[in-house]
Structure 1
Amino acid sequence: MGDNKGMDRRGFLKTAAFSSLALGGAAALAGCAPAAGTDGGAALSSTGDIAWDKEVDVLVLGSGTGAFAALVAAAKGAGSVCLVEKGTMWGGTAATSGGGLAVPLTYAAADAGVSDSKEEIVKYFKNASDGRVDEAVLNSFIDNGSDFIDWISEEMGWKFVASPLFGDYYEPMEGWIPMGRGSLGAANADGPMIASQMWEEMKAKMEGYGVEILMGTEATELITDGAGAVLGAVCGDQNIKAGSVIVATGGFDHNDEMRAKYHPFKIMATNAVPTNTGDGQLMGMAIGANVSYMDRCWGAPAILTTGDDPATLIAEGTIAQEIAGTDWAMYRGLPGAVVVNKKGRRIGNEAGPYDLFNQAFAYYDTGEPGHVNIPAYFICDAACWATYSLPGHTVGAVGEGDGSYFDETYGGEATDPAEVPAHFVQADTLEELAGKLGIDPTGLTAEIAAFNENAVKGTDPVYHRGEKHLDINTTGVMAGSRTDLANPVLAPLATGPFYGAIYVPGTCGTAGGLTINENAQVVNTDGEPIEHLYAVGNCSSGVSGGTYVHGGISLGSGGVMSWVAVNHAMGATA
């Protein structure tokens, strides 16, 4: 879908597309009154009169990827746009991220000389998702991605750049490429930006267009007519009538009941904002919406720094709000570090993608029986401790600002290396460390001995650490692209004292939600679109079959499908 370049942005469309949607909703309002909801969600349906406090053309629920939807709607001429945000922090989880957008076949990829095709992208997504991806939705994402990036680049004055960091994660599946699809970075006139800067700039642009932003306002119910079409939503103490409602309320990371119901193993930590409690999914299900991929999450394991007892998290099904310890590729894959289970055995390729490593926690030992990898343990030696920053432990700036892990770009004021943060334990020997952490000492010493023998040669015959593109070009770069080692992500754990910490499965968002079609419309359990209702971001079923195909897929797909949703609601054509 392209931008309607020959059309006055705030003229014709505001009186045509959106007014027709609003009038259609009004005609259905013979009268509406509350009806009991189910399972934490609720709906208002046509059984009596309802008083509307506000009427808008577009109502967006959530300021994460929903910010894209509000911006597109306002810029394309919606007469009135209202965005409600449950929390007090603008941008939700999205604004806490690095800001990379995964969008294929863009000018950024072309500028980097990337050779790619729609056929290869579809092949990769289908393979990575084990065939679970909805091909119609995926095609819509691919077909609209370049238009969205072109539009937002012009609208915001941004330039996107492709990077080899956080490229395709499922190497060597057919269709995989090393870069060009994942984590396109945005820059403004002052240089590269992170998400918080991007979201502040979008907010300022929205406010310039007159978008009404209601912070600290929770959407609790969707309002429907007798035929099931959505007419608006209850937001805080207001009944807001809308021509279209775009749900962008995020995941259900902080809903203990939903995680227990849908996830196949315990998720113990998340860096998602606490307001991500599955509101959009519950509101949608209350009016008959279907849900998909509820068993999936955007995995992000973590060193547990919060002081939470892992046994309590497991027993009570609760989750730790973990920020500092979230391990994208900065800790477990460092030379001189490994992650092991209570038997002392390594659980995966520590230098690989964070989501893939998170899946190692799903292993169920039928002899135990149980998930023997939960919790696991991060372990490193004195050389690693002295060289790299870890949560609560900073080595300070070393280099000249060339972007390597331990230079002035990522450094900071050094902490006293003799001071060990409370979430770490220190021991002179591996046996002593095992005793302090509750690991089998015999298993650990045998495992590290075998690992060390191969690490000095730069090999890992067990999990093939350091053999894949991302291992070297993401984790290896973050580790300083070490040329003094046979492999930049492998070094033996040879020198005491040794350090250890609890390492747990985590998320940066759940990946399941309201099932959408190729127009980002929410569909009911019969597969039919629910009129005037759209979903984008982590509250939706997304575009990748619930699979973390490459870095930035949550933000990128949320942005593109926001573009798709608004264009469909406004009746735009390609």
Structure 2
Amino acid sequence: MIGKLDGLQDGASYDVVVIGSGGAGMAAAVFAAIEDKRVLLVERTEYLGGTTALSAATTWAPNSHHAKGSGDSFEKADRFLTNVVGNHSRLDMRRAFLRSAPKAIAVLEAGSDVRFRPYALHPDYVQEVEGATLTGRALEPLPFDGRQLGEVLALVRPPIPEFTIFGGMMVDRTDIGHLLKLKQSVASFRHAAKMLGRHALDRLSRPRGTRLVMGNALIGRMLLTLRQRQVDIVLQTSVTELIRDGHTVTGVVLASQGAARRITATSAVVMASGGFNRHKTRRAEMLHRPTPAYSPGAPGHTGELQDLALGLGARFGEGSLDNAFWAPVSVRKRADGSTAVFPHFVMDRSKPGTVAVNSLGRRFVNETVSYHLFSRAMFETHPQAPCIPAFLITDAEGLRKYGLGMVRPGGRRLKPYLADGYLTEAPSVAELAEKLGIDDQALEQTIAAMNGYAATGVDTAFGRGTTAYHRVNGDAGQQPNPTLGPIATAPFYAVKLYPGDIGAANGLVTDEQAQVLDRDNQPIRHLYACGNDMQSIMGGTYPGPGITIGPAITFAYRAIRHALHGETN
């Protein structure tokens, strides 16, 4: 049964009840379904997939069977995390993850429709420390044919529209590479033609394309497995109570549109509701100041389920470097009145011919660092020189080749972006500074310095392009440094950047089996947390791509193995 709460019988009993349908919740439901257990998956919104569905769904899982030949090992990954995370998270939790991640990926692929592949070159974000790798740890889901889902395809959370092309066609980084080379490569032309033709046929009879990639592919694949194994799923449903008997959680009370159901869970209730980020008070209490106005995440992570667990004695973790994970975002009002929040992950900040400046017209960060570090730099330097918002600047050539935020490469159809103020254009650097309200001489000096760095290939101020991670997100055709190019061709352009939270790093304290612990450090029996409901093992650092989804899947696996079999290894 997939539908609304009124389709459930009051008093129904399940082996496992999972709350939340993002990557963590879906994985927990799949792992339980693989064991032929009776499973209920509960989602509070009208769509399945959570923020995972909106993401690239990169999954950081060191030393999996996909990493053979990469030189990775438990010991190497352990050194890497120790060097990056240090004392900001518990060593036992990190090592539990490293031990189980390969098993979780293998079991998931063997028992479900989920399929991963390692991207050819996908470096860890912090390349400066021992144990970092260039490939093998970051897995991505294979594209998925959504037609296999039939009518329930409509329940998968649609991608961010600004991440699609041609009226909603999804593309991943492989597709983008082919699209950019379709005039130079026969193979790329064929790939692009096949993809475009498929989408055109889909749109003749369907409201959306059926070729799913990235987060939609991962969620779609998991949903197909849940459907095949007849897992019950209810949407637009909230949890109003965690039922307990002594120190054991025995079920939940669900509510939706005036209906209520009391549901028994004989083995486990798994919390995977997405964390605190949209909590009515905790957002302001736990995030940086000024409190960020924008989040590109899905709307379901209200933290209300965590409130119920806190009422049973659970507690939030301590000691993290940061309570959230971050990305710089730009914002624009859509035609329907909603606000587009666009994360600037890799497509523009690291490209040649770009620079980010604060309100004084000065740089404040190495633009090619990870989106998490970029945003943290905004908070750290804002009190000294305001950079919320910051300004990401390029010239006509940079805009044409790489685009800027929601503005696609090509440099055409700019009028709507200019008219609503998303994009600022000026014939000179000084005039651009005037329009942005920043010092013109300072900005001219900054641009002149960047042009000097482009000529020598050396950024003496911030070290742009000094690691493999920096360079892989640049343009290999630009030499001597793939991240540095001149900013000299008029007109000049800018978009405003704000720090946007993309997920919670602070969550409920658990043991290695993902059991929620109380204030006395004792497990609340049968209550588990994974994903962003759980205290992150990354301690508020961001070591590499997919460091939220990898642990989410792994601790979902550990939770189910413990709940059903008592496994603790």
What range describes the TM-score normalised by the shorter chain of this pair? 0.7 to 0.9
- 8 Å CA contact 1:302–1:506 kept in 2: the answer is yes
TM-score normalised per structure 2: 0.80
Question: Are 1:207 and 2:227 an aligned pair?
Answer: yes
Residue of structure 1 aligned with 2:61, choices 85, 99, 103? 103
> What is the CA-CA distance between 1:160 and the residue it aligns to?
2.7
- Is contact 1:124-1:174 (8 Å) kept? yes
| Aligned twin of 1:285 | 310
Match of 2:404 in 1: 390
**More helix per residue: 1 or 2?**
2
Match of 2:88 in 1: 132
Query: CA–CA distance in 1 between the matches of 2:501 and 2:20?
Result: 19
Residues 473-552 of structure 1: pairs in structure 2 closer than 5 A: 473=472, 475-476=473-474, 479=475, 481-483=476-478, 485-552=479-546
Deviates more, 1:509-518 or 1:229-238: 229-238
For 2:265, give the aligned amino acid.
A
SS of the aligned residue for 1:505 comes to strand
Shift of 1:164: 5.0
Identity of aligned residues (%): 31
Counterparts in 2 of 1:387 and 1:256: CA distance versus 1, 3 Å:
farther
Task: Flag structure 1 segments of 5+ consecutive residues without an equivalent.
Answer: 1-50, 308-319, 397-413
How far has the Cα of 1:429 moved from its partner?
1.6
Change in 2 beyond 3 A, CA 1:362/1:522: same
Contact 2:279 2:304 in 1 (8 A): no
Q: Which amino acid aligns with 2:444?
A: T
Post-superposition CA distance 1:91-113 (Å, at most 9, x none)? 11111111221111111111xx2
2:287 equivalent to 1:263: yes
Change (3 A) 1:270 1:530: same
- Tell whether the 8 Å contact from 1:234 to 1:240 is kept in structure 2 after alignment: yes
Q: Post-superposition shift, 1:157?
A: 4.7
- Asked if 2 retains the 8 angstrom alpha-carbon contact of 1:103 and 1:184, the reply is no
Question: What's the secondary structure of 1:129's corresponding residue?
Answer: helix
Letter of the aligned partner of 1:462 in structure 2? A
* Structure 2 gap ranges (5+): 1-8, 147-210
Mark the CA change 1:352 to 1:172 in structure 2 (over 3 Å): closer, same or farther. Answer: same
Q: 1:194 aligns with which of 214, 228, 231?
A: 214
CA contact (8 A) 2:332 2:339 kept: no
- The separation in 1 between residues aligned to 2:369 and 2:121, in whole angstroms, is 12
Choose which of 261, 265, 287 in structure 2 pairs with 1:238: 261
Alpha-carbon distance change, 58 to 296 in structure 1, aligned in 2, over 3 angstroms: same
8 Å contact from structure 1 (residues 160, 186) kept in 2: yes
Name the CA distance, whole Å, in 2 between partners of 1:279 and 1:415: 45
Q: Does 1:450 align with 2:449?
A: yes
Q: Describe the shift of the 1:133–1:122 C-alpha distance in structure 2 as closer, same or farther (beyond 3 A).
A: farther
Task: Select which of 12, 25, 29 maps to 1:66.
Answer: 25
Read off the aligned partner of 1:463 and give its amino acid letter.
F
1:227-278 Cα shifts (integer Å, max 9, x gaps)? 3321222221222221210000002232352121112333332211112112
Which of the residues 46, 49, 56 maps onto 1:88?
Answer: 46
The question of whether the paired residues in 2 share the 8 Å contact of 1:163 and 1:185 is answered with no
Secondary structure, aligned partner of 1:328: coil
* In the alignment, structure 1 residue 176 sits paired with structure 2 residue 175: no
2:101 is matched by which residue type in structure 1? G
Contact 2:123 2:544 in 1 (8 A): yes
CA deviations on 1:191-238 (whole Å, 9 max, x unpaired) are 99422122122112112212110011112332223x332122222122
Equivalent residue for 1:254, pick from 265, 278, 285: 278
CA distance in 2, matches of 1:472, 1:456: 16
Could you tell me how far apart the structure 2 residues matched to 1:215 and 1:527 are?
A: 33
SS in structure 2 opposite 1:291? coil
Q: How does 1:217-232 map to 2 (within 5 A)?
A: 217-225=237-245, 227-232=246-251
CA apart distance, 1:569: 0.1
Match of 2:325 in 1: 298
Distance 1:388 1:562 in 2: 38
Q: TM-score of the superposition, structure 1-length normalised?
A: 0.79
Equivalent position SS for 2:456: coil
Describe the shift of the 1:85–1:159 C-alpha distance in structure 2 as closer, same or farther (beyond 3 A). closer
Provide the alpha-carbon RMSD of the alignment.
Answer: 2.4
Q: Does 1:118 align with 2:52?
A: no
For 2:428 and 2:461, how far apart are their aligned partners in 1?
24
The more displaced of 386-395 and 172-181 is 386-395
Q: Within 2, Cα distance between the matches of 1:159 and 1:52?
A: 36
TM-aligned CA deviation for residue 558 of structure 1: 0.7
Q: Is the 8 A contact 2:344 2:405 kept in 1?
A: no
User: Does structure 2 conserve the Cα–Cα contact (< 8 Å) formed by 1:383 and 1:495?
Assistant: yes
C-alpha deviation, 1:517, in angstroms: 1.0
